[in-house]
Amino acid sequence: MQIEIGPVSRASALAWFDYGTRAIAELRAAHAGTVPASALERFESLIAAWRDCAATTDAATPFHWITDEPPERVEFLMKALYTAGLEIERGADAGIMTLRPGAADEFHIVMVQQVLATLARQDRSNAEFVESLRNEWLIARPD
């Protein structure tokens, strides 16, 4: 399935890439184990691809990225992103992790909502997954 993120503010995207890199390091350091290592590795490769995409366009141009991914992988990564967020919130409460900065919010919201909307249109099983996730994850709700 084709996944599209953006257009979204380049500044917000770059802030999210920096935050995501830090969050991955903090999740690994915490050894929490709630986010699979394979998901963290895939997040790292996505951030690298997004940085490359941002570097190849004019600085005044909004960030926009398109790729193809199997729906099963998208479900796995979106669930892992949600789980990572919960783990980071717990870690921030304990003083060992950093919450997402406000500058990264626009990218985060656009990414989550666009990816889930695309996934929901794939088939009934994907739509049910998205509905379930939206019931748990406030930022995933389209309203």
User: Consecutive 10-residue runs of the chain (143 residues): their mean pLDDT?
Assistant: 97 98 96 91 98 91 97 98 97 96 98 98 97 94 82
pLDDT of residue 102: 98
Domain that holds residue 42: 2-140
Number of structural domains in the chain? 1
pLDDT of residue 67: 97
* Count of beta carbons in the 10 Å neighbourhood of residue 89: 13
- Taking each helix axis as running N to C, give the angle between helix 71-93 and helix 37-55, from 0 to 180 degrees, rounded to the nearest 10: 100
Closest CA to 17 of 56, 39, 44, 57: 44
Please, which residues have CB within 8 angstroms of residue 123's CB and are 6 or more apart in sequence?
71
First to last CA, the chain: 24
